[in-house]
Every structure is written in C-alpha cells, then in structure tokens.
C-alpha cells in the first residue's frame, strides 16, 4: 500500500512538473524561432528594432480584443481571431526587443465593464455584434505622462502594413511634436502671403486669387508649412525640406540645400523633365524652361534624372484627349500607376497604393552603385514592360506618333527613390557668393565653407514628376466639395510622414503578401472571359448589321411596297431574334463551359485527394491479406 | 541510438499495421476524410479560397487526429493486457521503457506514414499555383508532432485499462481538453473555480495554438519544446503506470 | 540453479504467496502443485520478474530478480498460462520476433527457429497465422518461443492444460528430453503429470509451501499408492484414508 501511494505521488508530481516545464519553456523559448515564412511575417525589420533600442521610457501597449464576444459571433469572425493571434505575436516580438520598456496588456473588454468604457474613450472602433456584445480590435500605446496614440481597428486586409503602423505609432508617442515643412519651389505651391481676406477681396474685384495648392492644405493639417525663399544661403529649423520643380537655383541656394542635407536634414524632392503645370502657369513667359533638375546635388545623392527622357508604359497609360478636338485615346504621357508599381518594392510609402496619376514623368537611375554609406531604395516604378523614351517638345503634341514609336522595355523604369544614409558635399571647396557687406554696402566675394561630409544620417525622397501633386491631377470637384481624385496626395503624405519620422522608420518595410492564387484556374477563367467577350461582340455585330439592313429597307420603302417591306422587316426581325437567341445560347454555353471546366477540375482534384490513396491502400491491403491467409511462404 | 529491443518492437508493431485490416481501415478512413473535408464546400474550402497553400488542409488535422489517433493508440497496451501477451513481452529481456518506446514509435511512424500518404494534396497545390514548400513542410512537421502528442496521451490511457473503449474515450476527452485549452468556452468554465494564474498555466497547454503557429510556417523553439515535453511526460506516465501494475 | 528465499506477494490484504523458499538444481524438474488460486502462477511470475514481489528475493544463477531482472529474464524461457500469443503473426514471424528480442544474431535466429520448429513439430503450420491454429499448436508455439534461446531455466505454467492425451504425452516427452541440463519448473494440477515428469514436487496452498520432496516420496505417503489422496490430505489438512503424513 505504501508503495502505491508513493507511485501516485510520483505521477502527480511529474504531472505538475510537466505543466510547469511547458509553461516556463513556452514563455522563455518563445523568442527563439525560425521564421520560415517567405514574408518574414514574424520577424521585425531592423528599423523597428532600432526604434525599440532607443526607447528609454516605459510604454504600455494595450491590445483590445473582444475575444469572448468574437467566440459568440459568427464563423466569419474566425479570420479576426486568427489575425488577433498574429497581431499579438507581433506585439510580443516588439516587447521582446524593447529591453523591458514595453509592456503588453491584452484586454478582452466585456460589455458594461470599466475596460469597455475605456476602449470607447480611447476612440477605438466598436462593432455591435448582438444587442449586448460589442466587438473591439484596436491598440492603444501610452506613455507614463499620458500621451496616447491609437490604432482604432486592425483590418486583416492590412496585414502587410501592420509592422509599419505599429512602429509609427510607437514612434509618434515618443515624438509627439508637430513637424515643420519648408517648401522651396519655382511653382506657386504655397501662397502664404495671401490671407483669406485678401483672396476674398481679389475675387470681389474679379481677379483670380492665387491660392495655395490643395495639397498644402492637406499638409497643414499635420505639419507647420512655410515657404523658403529661393535665394538663401542657410536653411535651418526645418524637419523636412520640400523642393518642387527646382529651376535655375543659384549656387548659393544649392549650397544651402547641400549643407542642410549634410547636417541631417530630410528632403522631399520633385524634379520633372517636362512639367505641364509649369507650361500652363508660365505661359506668359514663352520659351521658358519646363524642365527642372537638381543634378549637382542628386549626383552626390547617388541618383540622376535621365536627360531629355520620359518614362512610359503602354500597360499603365491612361485614356484621355490632348485637346478638345481629338478623340480620347491611350496616352503615353498619362501614366496611371496601380498596385503593380509599388508592390515589388515593399515600401510602406507606395505599398498598396492603387491609383496614382503622373504626367510626363521622367526616368530616374541609380548612378552610384557602391552605396557605401547610403542605401538607395526604388519605391515606385513602371511594370516590366515600361521603358524610357527620348522626346522633343514638338513631338509631345502628337500622341499617336509617341505611341507608335514606343518600344516596350524589359525591366521597370523607376519613378521614385528613397535614399537613406550619409552623403558627401557637392561643394567640397565651399562656394563663393557675392554679398553686401553691411557696413560698406559694397558687394564682395565671400567664400562660404562648411561641412564636407554628412555629420548625421539623412534621407531624401525623389520623384521624377511634379505635376501629380497639382490640384488638377490629384483632386476633383464634386457635389460634396473637393475630394481625392486618386492617391497622389496619399503618396505625398506618406513620403512626408516617413521623412518626418526617424531614419529607422524609413527602413521599416512592408511585409509583402505573396500571390498564391490558383494560376491554372485563373487561366481557365481568363480564357472563358475572352471567349465570352468574342461572343458578345459577335452578337453586337449581328444586331448592328440588322439595324443597318432595316435602315436600308426603310429607305427603299415607298407607298407601293410598304406592306411588302414591312413584312420583310418583320421577317428579318424574326430571323434576327432567332440568330440572337442562338448566339445568346452559345454565350451561355461559353460561360457555362468555363465554369464547368473549373468545377470539373475541382471535382477531379477532389477525387484524386479523397479516392486515389485509399483505393491504392485497399488494393494492397486485400492483396497482402489474401497472401497471408493462404500462408504463402515469403521468399527470404 | 535506439536500443536493439526498441528497434525490434518498433518493426514488429509497425508491421502489424500492415498485416491486419485495422491499419488499412484507419488509413483509408483518414485519407478519405482529410481529402473530403479539405475540399468540402464551405467558406474555408480549399477550392473556394483559391490559395495555393495547405491552410484548409491543416485546419482539419487536429480534429481528425482527435478521433482517429486514439483509435490507433487504444489497442497499444489494452490489447496486450487483455490477451495476456503482455506477460510474454515483459518476461522477455526487455525493459518497460523499451517496450513503451518501441510501441509508441511504431504507432507514430504509422501516423507519419499516413501523413506522407496525403502527398496528392501537395501535388495538387503545386499544380494549381506556387506554394511555399517550406511552410508546407513545417505544417507537416507540426501535424506529425501533434499526432505524437495525441499518441503519447493515448499510450497512457491504453496502459491504464484493459478496456479499449474506455481507453479510447478517455484519450479523446483528454486530447480534446488539451487541444481546446485556449478556447474561451473552456476557459470561461474553468475560470469559475480556478485562479487566474492557473488559468494562464492551463491556456499555455493549448495544443492547437502551438500547432497553428507551425501551420503558418514559423518554427518556434517554444513549440518544439512544448510537444517534446508533452510527449515525453505522457510516455513517462505510461511507463510509470505499467511499473505500477507490475508492483500491485 | 534457482534459489527462492522467503518470496511473498500480497494483493491488498490478500497474501497470494507467503514466504516461500526452495531451490531447484540443474537437471531437476520441479513440479509445482497446488489447488487453483494457491499462488503457483504468482510465484512463477515473480521468478520471471513479470511482477515484483512484496518481500523476499529469488536468484537465477546468482542474478537477483530485484536488482538484475533483465539478466534473470535472459536465462529463463517462460511459457505463460494459457499460452498467450500474437494472433496476427505467423508462427515463423513470431518465433523470429522472440529470437530477435532474445538478442540472437541474424544467423543464430534462423537456426534457432528451425531447431525449435523441429523440436515442437511446428513444420506444418510454420507460415500460418497464429489465430488459425488449434489449441495444441498454440501450446507448442508457446513452448517453442520459451525454448528459442536454449535457456538454462525453463518455467512452464500449466503446459499441458487443455490438451488431448496424445498431445499431453508429446509435451511430457519433450520436457523430459530437455530436462537433462536445465532447471525446469512446471506448474500443474494434474497429479499424474508429476509422477510422469517431475523429479521433485512442491505443494503449495493459500500461498504457503506445504510439501517439498521427491515425487516418489509423495506417492509413498499413501498406502494405496494414490497421489490424489496425498494431495487432498496435504492441501485441505483433512484426514484421508490410507494417507499418513
């Protein structure tokens, strides 16, 4: 008896040890893992890790997820349940890299509790599942002095950008100040001298007031925006310098920009080999340059705008008309970028942006392959079929010529780059400027010297078009007021946001979602659609020709043969109805064929997976059983 | 590495799956059902999702295993005990540990064989699209480990009783509890009488959670550790039970 | 040689075996007699280390069942009661399996299997599955597995139970032929078997040893020469006519 009790004691003890080992091992070993997903879904990028390293105040991450409610909900919530685990895993990854500065709380807010009220107060999105059950799935990041930022709802469709969103959120809690942006432009992007009152006054006088571009109004919501004089020798006190369409900048200004960047300043640059907006605005000054470049500095940054070349892509070209007399047609000049343009580069700036419109964009190239102290990331490009083409101004007015002479390329032409790192000065020997001495009031040559190399890491984002930020190509007027025409403005704001964040934030990349669709099925569907389209056009052709015939008959009609013609008309119509009915039948057949093909493929595969192996095993099983039953001696 | 006796027992036991109808019945039911549920017309169905991965396949593995693995494990010891052959086995120069290990490994290998027999589904996704083979591999590894964990639990209950039905039911119930350890209804039930800390402890035992991370293609040392501990602990329990029976 | 010292086993409150001691030397065939439930099987299971004793010890050629059970088992060939076998194996497979577990070399296995098949006359059923065999063949298969490694000690739990007279005769002949250089313990409740095969007999009842001596000695105790009477007298403790203990 004693022995028995002893044994049971051992068993109980080992059960407890087992549970504890599992629990402890689980929480300790959680960090060690091999992330085999192609997307590296469970691994933080270096940018996020660097931001976490810099954390020196404790932050609390409150992940609100109505787990209990979700389990009472429909099957559809399962996908959210799964996503929740992913979000939680990723947040735990953050905690693991935060040197104990992050604390993660997972909160399941039940109805009518303090937690639920808090979730609502924070402004998290709330979905009513049933009368009592509410559903929350959001994140609050809080520091100990009461700054809080939220992600109001986690959308499983946004999984790729999750890491960027969370890192940005953490970053914004640490750095809550509103950033300042300076605009240096040859175009009247920001008219900060014009007060609304003055604009009103001008309108009343019948003059068109020069208003700021709408994009700046959007920017003002998030940033302090001001103009930078185009002739300056020092730029300071800015978080971001936005240079749009720089033309004929003086050496002094270039020097100022150069020194600004070397000192760690961030630049958002728009250069353009051919600007439509400029064309329109500077019409008065005929023969003025429509192109802009910043070659001297960009060379040092490691990229260049190809001279006298534009980027084109037949597969991205939009439909439009050059002027009122022309038929709408596909224009090489109108580049309508979709998800394909950014997906490949997996950068949070362009990732998932589905509609961006560019006009006569230029082609950017990396010239400094070594990239010792800096990294150059392409962030936007054409498809593989894109190419750059030479242009002269007179050819641009003939879209058909351009279209005909364009040759498809074999790799994407890049439209934008992000450059992060340290640079060398374009003015290693300084620059001499003429300056009026304050005392003598005589102009003197003075040599300005400054930094020869970057002291701090900096970042530059370059786009090869400036037109796309203009009102006309990024916003539209509707009955509801001014709205977004496309995602051009989002592109600008994304760029500013990344530049405004730390360098680390710039290096957080989107986690791609790999396309794993059924290629075979897609092909069948594609073929079926093609056949359907053919049938539809055939039907339309028939109807068209019938109408023609009917018209001809009508012309032949006179008093004498009116009855005959009518009869013939009716006969023809009957024939046509028959033909159309037949064609429609065929159309249905084509559609059905496609569908049936897929269904058949599906059921064939199902048979393969359900019956193939079992039947093989069955045959083998019966065979071996028979052999054994007979007691056949095996050969050995 | 493996002792001679373990190997011998493993071979004999494994062979018995192919010389008796039971092994075939199990395999056929398993392979048919997993194929069927993967393609089953529902919202999570393979052909509706149209993603060239095996998520809809792996999703059902725990549930099929939950019913089928105990059917494999129930006879391991209960049958030996009932027919008396255990007396034969354990008077041969074989330790209890070797016998437990040999039998467990054999049935685990049999589960592995069944998983291998699902290869048409891999061919299917390879034909339909471009799957991530590494993720699939880890998914299979996860399934194999899950099967091993269920088996180890089954071994324990099989050693506990002569009656195969009781062994089966106990295994199913226990596996279900461990599988669903992280599920809210069970946690809610337990929270009525367990302290929060124990609840966390219990939740960490959730098999499906560890299985699902592997199904997504992440190999965490923690998950491997979890399965290793579960398997070894229950096998140790099985050995202890057999020793206990010997003494009483 | 087997030495059993004060071996005891209790199941809960019941003492199945109570401090039994005896010795078996090489060349001896020890008959283990006793009514059903006397503790014969339990004693044998303890010697084969299938179950562990609650007290006492037994050694087989100097190896203790408590400290070196695996060594003990290596020396013993054991035929359990009712001859349990793996029904789904063929005789050949089964014998190879046990040979392998006995640690015989590949070549040795084949030889050993051939030898025991001949010894136990299993040639006709060598490749049949065990479930299809008759009771007699099953017994012989079980016997064959006990002999496969040519053990120094043979422990047989009711080897002739349920066999027809011819089969019984065959088994007894086999045991006798084997007995020369081995220790054999066999349990039985058939008394003529003791007379026929055993050199020595032990009678136990309710876990206690009641008699230990030559089989012929047992017979001499009855004036009528009936072992049955002696057995009854010893195990029940009643007066039986013509028996003087």
Digit-coded pLDDT (tens) for A441-450: 677 777 888 8
- Taking the CA of residue A468 as centre, how many other CA atoms within 13 Å lie in the half-sphere pointing to its CB? 30
pLDDT number for residue B189: 73
Q: Residue A3: closest CA among chain C residues belongs to which residue?
A: C54
Question: In chain B, what residues touch A88 (CB-CB under 8 Å)?
Answer: none
* Ranges of each domain in chain B: 4-247
A628 in contact with C at a CB cutoff of 8 Å? yes
Between residues A384 and A183, the one the model is more confident about:
A183
Q: Is C69 exposed, middle or buried (0-12, 13-18, 19+ CB in 10 A)?
A: buried
CB-based contact C90 A629, cutoff 8 Å? no
Measured CA to CA, the distance from residue A597 to residue A593 in angstroms comes to 6
Measured CA to CA, the distance from residue B35 to residue B172 in angstroms comes to 22
pLDDT number for residue B14: 92
Residue in this structure with the two tokens 């007031």, named with its chain if needed: A209
* Ranges of each domain in chain A: 29-172, 180-307+361-383+415-503, 519-603
pLDDT number for residue A587: 79
Chain B with chain C: Cβ pairs closer than 8 A: 65
Q: B92-115 in b/e burial notation, b at 16+ Cβ within 10 A?
A: bbbbbbbbbbbbbbbbbbbbbebb
Q: What is the pLDDT of residues A245-297, one digit of tens each?
A: 998 888 889 999 999 999 888 999 999 988 888 877 766 555 667 788 888 88
Q: Residue C91: closest CA among chain A residues belongs to which residue?
A: A631
Q: State the CB neighbour count (10 A cutoff) for residue A600.
A: 12
Asked whether A246 and A272 are in contact (CB, 8 A), the reply is no
Which residue among A32, A520, A621 places its CB closest to the CB of B128?
A520
What are φ and ψ of residue C51, in 5° steps?
A: -120, 155
Confidence label for A588 from pLDDT (cuts 50, 70 and 90): confident
Question: In chain C, what residues touch B84 (CB-CB under 8 Å)?
Answer: 80-82, 84
User: Is the predicted pLDDT of residue B198 greater than 50, yes or no?
Assistant: yes
Residue C86 Cα, gap to closest chain B Cα (Å): 7
Q: What is the pLDDT of residues B78-134, one digit of tens each?
A: 999 889 999 999 999 999 999 999 999 999 999 999 999 999 999 998 998 888 888
Confidence label for C97 from pLDDT (cuts 50, 70 and 90): very high
Q: Is C156 exposed, middle or buried (0-12, 13-18, 19+ CB in 10 A)?
A: buried
Lowest mean pLDDT among A327-341, A601-615, B193-207: B193-207
Confidence label for A635 from pLDDT (cuts 50, 70 and 90): very low
pLDDT number for residue A625: 80
Confidence label for A636 from pLDDT (cuts 50, 70 and 90): very low
Average pLDDT over residues A462-489: 82
| Residue C57 forms part of a structural domain | yes
The per-residue pLDDT of chain C, averaged, comes to 87
* Residue positions counted in chain A: 636
Q: Which residues 158-197 of chain B have a CB within 8 Å of chain A?
A: 183-185, 188
Lowest mean pLDDT among A215-219, A309-313, A482-486: A482-486
Average pLDDT over residues A3-7: 60
Q: What is the pLDDT of residues C135-167, one digit of tens each?
A: 889 988 999 999 999 999 999 998 888 788 888
Asked whether C105 and B101 are in contact (CB, 8 A), the reply is no
Residue in this structure with the two tokens 């509801």, named with its chain if needed: A480
Specify the 3-state DSSP secondary structure of C35.
Answer: coil
User: Subunits with at least 3 CB pairs below 8 A relative to chain C?
Assistant: A, B
User: Is the predicted pLDDT of residue C239 greater than 50, yes or no?
Assistant: yes
C70 in contact with B at a CB cutoff of 8 Å? yes
pLDDT number for residue A268: 94
Confidence label for A634 from pLDDT (cuts 50, 70 and 90): very low
Confidence label for B207 from pLDDT (cuts 50, 70 and 90): confident
pLDDT number for residue A6: 65
Asked whether A617 and A559 are in contact (CB, 8 A), the reply is no
Q: Which two tokens stand for residue A188?
A: 């009247």
Average pLDDT over residues C172-190: 86
* Distance from the Cα of residue A109 to its chain's centroid: 33
Residue in this structure with the two tokens 């030898």, named with its chain if needed: C115
Average pLDDT over residues B20-29: 90
| Residue C214 forms part of a structural domain | yes
User: Is the predicted pLDDT of residue A633 greater than 60, yes or no?
Assistant: no
Between residues A199 and A416, the one the model is more confident about:
A416
A346 sits in the region (left: phi over 0; alpha: psi -120 to 50; else beta) called left
Confidence label for A241 from pLDDT (cuts 50, 70 and 90): very high
Q: Residue C66: closest CA among chain B residues belongs to which residue?
A: B247
Asked whether A386 and A313 are in contact (CB, 8 A), the reply is yes
pLDDT number for residue C96: 94
Between residues A148 and C222, the one the model is more confident about:
A148
pLDDT number for residue A177: 77
Question: In chain B, what residues touch C48 (CB-CB under 8 Å)?
Answer: 91
Q: Residue C12: closest CA among chain B residues belongs to which residue?
A: B248
What are φ and ψ of residue A436, in 5° steps?
A: -85, 125
Lowest mean pLDDT among A35-39, A186-190, A475-479: A35-39
- Beta strands A102-107 and A59-65, pairing class: parallel
Query: Of the spans A165-179, A526-540, B60-74, which averages the highest pLDDT?
Result: B60-74
B51 in contact with C at a CB cutoff of 8 Å? no
Q: What was the ipTM of the complex prediction?
A: 0.88
Residue C52 Cα, gap to closest chain B Cα (Å): 5
pLDDT number for residue A305: 92
Q: What is the pLDDT of residues C103-127, one digit of tens each?
A: 888 888 999 999 999 988 889 898 8
pLDDT number for residue A4: 57
Question: In chain A, what residues touch B137 (CB-CB under 8 Å)?
Answer: 36
The per-residue pLDDT of chain A, averaged, comes to 81
DSSP notation for A414-430: EEEEEEEE--B-S-TT-
Dihedral (Cα; C55, C60, C63, C67), 10-degree rounding: -30
CB-based contact C100 B247, cutoff 8 Å? no
| Residue C17 forms part of a structural domain | yes
User: Is the predicted pLDDT of residue A425 greater than 50, yes or no?
Assistant: yes
> Percent of chain A at pLDDT above 90?
12
Fold of the CATH domain A29-172: Glutaredoxin (3.40.30)
Between residues B95 and A566, the one the model is more confident about:
B95
pLDDT number for residue A208: 66
| Residue C177 forms part of a structural domain | yes
Measured CA to CA, the distance from residue A621 to residue B160 in angstroms comes to 31
Query: Of the spans A311-325, B160-174, C229-243, which averages the highest pLDDT?
Result: B160-174
The CATH number that applies at residue C222 is 3.40.50.300
């Amino acid at each position: 008896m004693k022995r028995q009790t002893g044994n049971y004691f051992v068993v109980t003890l080992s059960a407890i040890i087992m549970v504890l080992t599992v629990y402890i091992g689980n929480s300790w070993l959680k960090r060690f893992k091999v992330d085999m997903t192609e997307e590296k879904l469970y691994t933080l990028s270096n940018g996020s890790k660097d931001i976490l390293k810099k954390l020196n105040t404790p932050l609390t991450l409150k992940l609100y997820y109505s787990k209990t409610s979700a389990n009472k909900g429909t099957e559809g919530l399962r996908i959210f349940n799964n996503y929740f685990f992913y979000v939680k895993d990723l947040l735990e990854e953050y905690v693991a890299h935060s040197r104990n500065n992050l604390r993660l709380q997972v909160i399941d807010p039940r109805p009518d509790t303090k937690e639920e009220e808090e979730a609502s107060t924070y402004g998290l999105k709330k979905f009513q599942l049933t009368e009592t059950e509410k559903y929350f799935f959001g994140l609050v990041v809080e520091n100990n002095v009461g700054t809080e930022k939220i992600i109001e709802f986690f959308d499983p469709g946004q999984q790729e950008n999750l890491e960027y969103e969370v890192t940005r959120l953490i970053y914004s809690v640490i750095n809550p100040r509103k950033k300042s942006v300076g605009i240096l432009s040859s175009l009247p992007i920001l008219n900060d001298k014009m007060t609304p009152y003055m604009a009103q006054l001008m309108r009343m006088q019948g003059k068109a007031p020069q208003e700021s571009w709408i994009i700046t109004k959007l920017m003002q919501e998030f940033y302090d925006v001001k103009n930078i004089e185009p002739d300056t020798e020092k730029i300071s006190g800015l978080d971001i310098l936005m240079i749009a369409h720089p033309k004929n900048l003086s050496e002094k200004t270039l020097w100022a920009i150069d020194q600004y960047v070397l000192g760690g300043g961030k630049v958002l640059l728009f250069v353009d080999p051919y600007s439509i907006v400029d064309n329109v605005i500077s019409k008065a000054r005929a023969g003025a340059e429509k192109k802009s470049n910043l070659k001297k500095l960009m060379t040092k940054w490691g990229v260049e705008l190809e001279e006298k070349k534009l980027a084109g892509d037949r597969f991205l070209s939009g439909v439009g008309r050059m002027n009122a007399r022309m038929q709408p047609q596909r224009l090489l000049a109108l580049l309508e970028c979709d998800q394909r343009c950014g997906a490949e580069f997996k950068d949070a700036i362009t990732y998932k942006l589905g509609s961006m419109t560019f006009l006569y964009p230029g082609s950017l190239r990396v010239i400094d392959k070594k990239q010792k102290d800096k990294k150059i990331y392409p962030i936007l490009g054409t498809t593989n079929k894109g190419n750059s083409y030479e242009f002269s101004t007179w050819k641009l007015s003939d879209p058909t010529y351009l279209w005909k002479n364009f040759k498809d390329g074999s790799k994407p032409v890049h439209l934008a780059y992000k450059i992060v790192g340290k640079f060398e000065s374009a003015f290693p020997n300084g620059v001499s400027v003429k300056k009026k001495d304050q005392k003598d009031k005589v102009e003197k040559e003075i040599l300005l010297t400054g930094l020869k190399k970057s002291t701090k890491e900096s970042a530059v984002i370059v786009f090869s078009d400036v037109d796309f930020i203009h009102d006309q190509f990024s916003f539209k007027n509707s009955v509801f007021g001014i709205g977004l025409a496309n995602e051009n403005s989002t592109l600008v704001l994304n760029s500013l946001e990344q530049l405004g964040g730390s360098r680390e934030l710039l290096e957080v990349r989107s986690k791609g979602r790999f396309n794993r669709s059924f290629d075979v099925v897609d092909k069948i569907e594609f073929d079926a659609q093609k056949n359907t389209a053919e049938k539809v056009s055939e039907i339309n052709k028939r109807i068209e020709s019938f109408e023609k015939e009917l018209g001809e008959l009508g012309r032949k009609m006179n008093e004498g043969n009116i009855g005959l013609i009518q009869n013939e008309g009716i006969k023809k119509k009957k024939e046509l109805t028959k033909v159309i009915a037949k064609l429609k039948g065929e159309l249905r057949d084509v559609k059905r064929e496609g569908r049936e093909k897929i269904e058949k493929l599906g059921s064939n595969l199902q048979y393969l997976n359900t019956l193939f192996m079992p039947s093989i095993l069955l045959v083998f099983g019966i065979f071996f059983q028979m052999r054994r039953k007979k007691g056949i001696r095996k050969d050995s | 590495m493996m002792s001679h006796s373990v190997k011998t027992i493993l071979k004999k036991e494994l062979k018995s799956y192919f010389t008796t109808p039971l092994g075939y019945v199990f395999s056929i039911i398993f392979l048919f059902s997993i194929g069927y549920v993967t393609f089953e017309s529902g919202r999570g169905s393979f052909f509706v999702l149209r993603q060239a991965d095996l998520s809809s396949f792996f999703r059902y593995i725990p549930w099929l295993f939950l019913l089928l693995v105990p059917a494999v494990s129930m006879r391991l010891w209960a049958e030996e005990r009932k027919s008396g052959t255990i007396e034969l086995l354990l008077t041969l120069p074989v330790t209890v540990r070797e016998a437990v290990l040999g039998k467990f490994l054999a049935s685990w290998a049999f589960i592995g064989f069944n998983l291998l027999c699902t290869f048409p589904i891999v061919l299917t996704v390879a034909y339909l699209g471009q799957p991530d083979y590494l993720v699939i591999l880890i998914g299979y590894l996860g399934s194999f480990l899950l099967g091993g964990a269920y088996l180890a639990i089954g071994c324990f209950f099989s050693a506990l009783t002569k009656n195969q039905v009781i062994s089966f039911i106990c295994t199913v119930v226990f596996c279900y509890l461990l599988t669903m350890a992280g599920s809210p209804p069970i946690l809610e039930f337990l929270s009525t009488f367990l302290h929060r800390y124990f609840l966390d402890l219990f939740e960490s035992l959730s098999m499906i959670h560890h299985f699902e991370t592997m199904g997504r293609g992440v190999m965490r040392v923690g998950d491997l550790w979890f399965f290793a501990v579960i398997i070894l602990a229950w096998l140790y329990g099985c050995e202890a039970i057999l020793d206990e029976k010997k003494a009483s | 040689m087997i030495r059993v010292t004060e071996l005891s086993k209790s199941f809960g409150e019941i003492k199945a075996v109570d401090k039994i001691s005896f010795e078996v030397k090489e060349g001896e065939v020890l008959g283990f007699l006793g009514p059903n439930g006397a503790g014969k099987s339990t004693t044998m299971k303890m010697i084969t280390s299938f179950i562990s004793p609650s007290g006492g010890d037994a050694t087989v050629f100097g190896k203790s069942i408590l400290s070196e059970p695996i060594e003990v088992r290596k020396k013993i060939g054991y035929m359990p009661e009712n001859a349990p076998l793996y029904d789904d194996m063929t005789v050949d497979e089964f014998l190879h399996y046990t040979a392998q577990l006995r640690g015989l070399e590949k070549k040795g296995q084949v030889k050993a299997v051939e030898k025991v098949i001949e010894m136990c006359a299993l040639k006709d059923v060598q490749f049949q599955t065990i479930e299809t065999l008759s009771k007699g063949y099953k017994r012989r298969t079980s016997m064959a597995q006990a002999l496969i490694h040519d053990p120094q000690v043979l422990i047989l739990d009711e080897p002739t139970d349920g066999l027809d007279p011819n089969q019984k005769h065959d088994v007894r002949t086999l045991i006798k032929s084997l007995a020369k250089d081995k220790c054999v313990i066999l349990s039985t409740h058939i008394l003529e078997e003791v007379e026929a095969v055993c050199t020595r007999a032990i009678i136990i009842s309710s876990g206690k040893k009641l008699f230990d001596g030559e089989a012929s000695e047992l017979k001499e105790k009855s004036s009528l020469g009936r072992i049955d009477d002696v057995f009854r007298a010893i195990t029940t403790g009643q007066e039986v006519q013509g028996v003087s203990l």
